[in-house]
Chain A
Amino acid sequence: MNKNDLKVISFLAYKNISKSKATFFVIVAVMAMSFLSITFFAAIIDGLGYEFEEGMIRGLTGHLMIEPSADSRYLENADSMVGKIKKIPEVVGVSKRVEASAVATHKTIQLGVPIFFVNPDDERQVSRFSESVVLGDYLSRKDNAELIIGTDLVEAYTREDDAKKSLDVTVGDTIQLSFSNGMVKEYKIKGIFKTGSQFSDNNILINYDDYEDIFHESDVASAILVALPSRGREEEFTRKIIDLGVTDQINPWQSKMGKVKQFIGSLQITNTITGVVGLFTAFATIYIIIFINVTNKRKQIGILKAVGIKKEIILGSYVLQSLIYGVAGVVIGIIAMQGLIALLTVYPLSMPIGNVVPILTTNRLVTTAITLILASIVAWFFPSKKAANDNILEAIFGG
């Protein structure tokens, strides 16, 4: 194979493609659509999984969750710890929480509810509650005897067929909370929030100051949540927090996923299976189209051989064509996919678990792109190799 051969190869490939533009567009469109169909579904699933995790992170765990070691119930000196961690550069937010439970009473309904006592300002940087208020207002710094409540606890927002009990309340109503220490207190509902995550929407948030009033303990926390600039930097920041002298458990969000992990794991298995099936389907489609196309070129291949064009050049020109088809299809597929993602980022799919934005990982993009291009090359290679090895006379005169 020398430079001149490459010239003839490119010349033949160019002529073949430019002389059958319709075929070119059909094949490229099929490849692009295959790319889209494989990656789009996967990206939605990935986005769904991401959103699911995000619901946990932005509701229950933060990126890092500092918890008391096994032998103690609370973190002590929570405020100074929060203050110190906040000073670590790039840390987005730090918030202490005390988790408690109470029995909520409204009219005749009694309901056990989980409570987070939080500092409303700190919570803004760590969780989604502040931005998820659908009715009324978020907690403010000085709130006393006011709470915000998740939609899963509010009858107006729960589905009728939902077997769980809920409270027939709205903003402005008063409910009674009985705490484990026997304390009973009336609270006014200041706001109703819906984060979209089932892990958060069945909670009640109350100002941390109230916790001190009710339990007469201060400066404690059942957990401190740390929000980082992005996922994937958990270890780095864990080290920085340890360097501050924190001896409590520092758990990355991943270790808190439990059921979510299984759920997402099964999503990913589904994803892999549909991905493989999709690739096979795409491969078969591409193979058939290209096979027919190359079969139609059998005579051309025969003539080229008859007039003395060597096999390597003929094959080379077909491999080059397949590369061009493959790359063009994949590139257009990627552009269309990025367009779709951009569109869905602006107008996310509103799913029950929250707003899902499709996520196309580089890994999946590259795998799909390479597989499709390879599929295209294989689909061209075998039929054209067969044609190039065929008896010249049969190829030309159709035996």
Chain B
Amino acid sequence: MTILRIPTPLRPYTNGKNEVNVSGANISEALNDLTNQFPNIKPHLFNEGGELRPFVNIFIGENNIKDLQGVDTPVKDGERLMLIPSIAGGMHVA
């Protein structure tokens, strides 16, 4: 079991939860477990072809899975996963 941190913009799709327990031996399986638990989050993470969208970054501990083995990166029990989305905000436009 691993804890996956959900950023605010994606919390509407996880019933408001900021952390979700997921299981899986690698990132791909962990994300599958996430989208099984919360199907509405799926289009925000994956494109129609089932590939991870390029603006979604997943970190395992301090490291981007892009710098490791991508979605094949193994996940050990108790490791912390984090989803990091692009957010645009800052200055306000009316």
Partners in one complex: no
Q: Which A residues contact B (CB, under 8 angstroms)?
A: none
